[in-house]
Structure 1
């Protein structure tokens, strides 16, 4: 029997309509469609859950604009693979959530539910804000630099970026195929793991999540620690202290990885110039200055320089595997601090460039607050391919970290 009832569809719409005018998480949603989908959703492992779909991910019913005026009114003939998988598992699509332009920097209209004068981050801004505000259970998101981790940190929710290649990318607008990774934003680790069981293969796997206590945790402040402010310093120290009350925690020196951020920028710029070649050649006047500069920069990089960056990245991936021979998980900053004010942009991706380059799975965990009271998350990272183990470690850490902050949604200072 379908687990959705008319009152559940009504509750979903009430949650959206209660907060959407203030938060602006959605590009579009359709109450008639939501009611129809609730009535026809099959029984499955995600029955009763709703999802917001980042607007770089194709949907047949809703338009997909990729955050760009170039694609206003653009419709795909079919749902992306991930949307199909979640719908077959019983989840209901609540609508399309706001993304930055082509998942880069130009922000949409979404604000941070914890303080509407601040950014929710980019580029998975709408998905993070919709989950934080309680409008949906699952936010489909993606990461090419820090597009999932940073919004999760700023909005005080759980962000799961799996190992590169774990989920099918079919039907998702790409920016840099060496890094583009589909992931999820949820209110808790359990929901992330339930979705992972559906998305990790062509057929949904049995859901299994066991709290796992790591034998050793490595604290990695990263080579860019000086770019973090007091809020992130305190959050990482508090997280390390709480973990250290139960397990061995040690500092990890990753100074040899200092070139990673530049390598990431080189590879991303080169590939973005290819991926958005038509838009740059034919619709350049509709591109933002930020992304036009990214493409122009990528066009100046030689193939030899690009290949060299790829080879150096592969060497660093080999080196990080040695670190995970000593530690089950790494603890690292998720963002430089609290969410910036809207006029200051979507924030710096510096604390995720390294991990995205290395293609590691990461879980952003909430529970900490910065000096202004806004959320500040931390990252737990696992070895490549050890996603199930990482989710288990994150589920355990979630029990000892503070509860995630609940949005207070005010616009005053």
Structure 2
């Protein structure tokens, strides 16, 4: 097995034991990128000499952090001190901010090798799409907006990568590409240095190829209660099976994936119960849309004023309030979200996690349609942690995943649940 094929957790163990170096792992990842990048197009910036130099510096360090020696990809709307941050916008091509975003600085401080910048939908929001293709089928999207990050991890180019989620930009690409991902509780990881879209929604997330990979990054960010084990085995878990208010939009393969995941868990001894959410949740998808567009007006006003000729029409529409969002609507959406957060949190500890679809179905054809975020957006507005788990394939042989969801600041327990259910739902 080549180093690029290792999961982050396996590579981390070898690095700690001295059986692998950061330079060797980085060189292996660069070789994989050289082999596959012409097809996948995951990267907007990659300097192999810089990456190797950074890896050599890591190899000199005696104190090993949580991410020691692990190459990490960074979504190109998150600032990096030694690389450009373009936001996939013609306004910012070649921009160098000269500083790291908080998440990047923490990763470096914990020993990560920042490998390069991964392609994204413009401003991680709308407008221009990433050039990235799905590694499983180059004719299909890897999802958006964290297109390059998901594809790079799925294709073995890098063991870990940062994404962001405002609607479904971390979890949905994981489903389309057949990998694991985590969207932590809103606010648990600083978004400083990442382009803002909707401050009520924006969340830094990350990708890996195993549940243990996700935990490594969670440890680097010192998420709450990681020192408090769940203390349960698989047969003691109680899982709520939830189609949610948008179940009618699920494609047959997504319905089949959820049912298959639930059946696999039951056969392994977990208790799986159907879960119908309270009536208030019928309005939660529309509330997320109102918050997204309402807060997005201010997020792109600077570009609208300073560089209107280079700003995509999608963002001009947001600033000009093409959707007609009123202040009263926005306040109502905030109020509904607050009510639903309390209702959802109240489902725990009766349940250990809620199992729900991760995407409408398989990855769509082409680059323009990056997928409907309808099975992610409500959870983003609820501020709860979500973990994407691969499950099966659809009619065209493309991955179809599911996600498990926990209560706000239940990230540590959800990671423990993922470690138990991952091998069952994803028997690869």
TM-score in terms of structure 2 length: 0.89
Deviation of residue 207 (structure 1)? 11
Residue 189 and residue 308 in structure 1: after superposition, are their counterparts in 2 closer, same or farther (change >3 A)?
A: same
* CA distance, structure 2, for counterparts of residue 207 and residue 37 of structure 1: 34
Alignment pair present for 1:191 and 2:194: no
* CA distance, structure 2, for counterparts of residue 208 and residue 86 of structure 1: 24
SS in 1 for 2:105: helix
* CA distance, structure 2, for counterparts of residue 7 and residue 334 of structure 1: 35
Alignment pair present for 1:113 and 2:113: no
* CA distance, structure 2, for counterparts of residue 18 and residue 222 of structure 1: 41
Partner of 1:252: 275
Answer yes or no: is the 8 Å Cα contact 1:211–1:395 preserved in 2: no
Write the mapping of 1:13-412 to structure 2, written as runs, cut at 5 A.
13-41=30-58, 42=61, 43-105=64-126, 106-200=128-222, 212-213=233-234, 214-245=236-267, 246-254=269-277, 256=279, 257-297=281-321, 300-343=324-367, 345-403=369-427
Deviation of residue 366 (structure 1)? 0.7
TM-score in terms of structure 1 length: 0.92
Deviation of residue 305 (structure 1)? 2.4
Answer yes or no: is the 8 Å Cα contact 2:77–2:86 preserved in 1: yes
* CA distance, structure 1, for counterparts of residue 293 and residue 388 of structure 2: 26
Answer yes or no: is the 8 Å Cα contact 1:366–1:403 preserved in 2: no
* CA distance, structure 1, for counterparts of residue 311 and residue 114 of structure 2: 29
Answer yes or no: is the 8 Å Cα contact 1:52–1:93 preserved in 2: yes
* CA distance, structure 2, for counterparts of residue 378 and residue 401 of structure 1: 9
SS in 2 for 1:376: strand
Answer yes or no: is the 8 Å Cα contact 1:193–1:209 preserved in 2: no
Deviation of residue 209 (structure 1)? 9.0
Answer yes or no: is the 8 Å Cα contact 1:65–1:71 preserved in 2: yes
Give a deviation string over 1:320-360, Cα, whole Å, max 9, x none. 12222431110000000000001551010100111011111
Structure 2 residues not aligned, in runs of 5+: 1-15
SS in 2 for 1:297: coil
How many residues matched? Answer: 403
* CA distance, structure 2, for counterparts of residue 233 and residue 15 of structure 1: 35
* CA distance, structure 2, for counterparts of residue 27 and residue 280 of structure 1: 24
**Greater CA drift, 127-136 or 36-45:** 36-45
Structure 1 residues not aligned, in runs of 5+: 405-413
Answer yes or no: is the 8 Å Cα contact 1:360–1:383 preserved in 2: yes
